[in-house]
Amino acid sequence: MFGNWMKTSILMAGIVALFGAVGAMLGGREGMLMALVFGGAMNVWAYWFSDKMVLKMYKARQVDETSSPYLYNMVRELAQRGDLPMPKVYLIDEAQPNAFATGRNPDNAAVAATTGIVRLLSERELRGVMAHELAHVKNRDILISTISATIAGAISMLAQFGMFFGGRGDERPNPILQILVMILAPLAAMVIQMAISRTREFGADRGGAEISGDPEALASALAKIESYARGIPMGTAEQHPETAQMMIMNPLSGGGLRGLFSTHPATQERIARLRAMVR
């Protein structure tokens, strides 16, 4: 637990430092001060409210044992197996098969699945996927992923609005430098997310296999999700690519820099590791 809090603290400090660096390059001392204040405020806001923002962004609707007994009871059984508090359960009306977990800690967690994944997977496979998301909750990955998704979007916004900083006198930045910052700052945020997310996914795969007791089912689910997800776009993820790293499978269409900076490890490697657990 201490290690996860340390990772979260390092992430927050790194994000604030990146905010300050972008502000300094765009607006000198005044820009750096404004960016640091903005970055600190964003960290506090993201800690308390980013999970609600992400769920609202995806138009997720909360379900219970009356409105969606199949999914709700499955999550409840898996949460009991994993010795976890019962999270809130959400459905997202999207055809692409995918799922994610969010929240600041296990007592304030939520798991969300698309209607596409519920329709596509068998019961065994869906259990594996939801166990994977609960493993993120158990490992306390969800705070890190939600904060990084929220603030990566804020960094992109800060860089795009960089022209409004305009320092004074000798502090006025070079227009070429401004353009470079507008391009490189979002890329730096993507690299931070990539480094965090790839390690987390392997850990959640193992943890999910242990919670469900069925690593082969999760391996089968990953293969099926990748096969179908590539041909079914998810509009919200394309509009907010910083949230892609929260999903069990990269929801973006890929190609170009998005493929190069994928926040998820290769699916075949994930499957191989799960099947090694079976052997």
pLDDT, one tens digit per residue, over 25-74 is: 766 677 677 777 776 677 677 778 778 999 999 999 999 999 999 999 99
Kindly give, in sequence order, each residue whose CB lies less than 8 Å from that of residue 219, ignoring residues fewer than 6 positions away: 128, 270, 271, 274, 275, 278
Per-residue tokens: 116: 């596409």
Nearest to 245 by CA among 235, 230, 232, 258: 258
Query: How far lies 240's CA from each of 7, 67, 78, 79, 187, in Å?
Result: 24, 29, 30, 29, 14
pLDDT band per the 50, 70, 90 thresholds, residue 253: confident
Residue 208 contacts residue 131 (beta carbons within 8 Å): yes
Check whether 260 has a pLDDT greater than 50: no
CA distance 66 to 119: 18
Per-residue tokens: 139: 């490992």
The Cα 85–Cα 239 span in angstroms is: 32
Is residue 171 among the annotated active site residues? no
**Per-residue pLDDT tens digits for 103-114:** 888 999 999 999
Q: Which of 6-10, 189-193, 214-218 is the most confident on average?
A: 214-218
Could you say which of 94, 125, 133, 201 is catalytic? 133
Residue 14: how many other CB atoms lie within 10 Å: 14
| pLDDT score for 278 | 87
Distance CA 101, CA 248 (A): 9
> pLDDT: is 271 or 165 the higher one?
271
> Looking at residue 185, what is its pLDDT?
66
pTM: 0.78
CB 143 within 8 A of CB 47: yes
Range scoring the smallest mean pLDDT among 67-76, 146-155, 225-234: 146-155
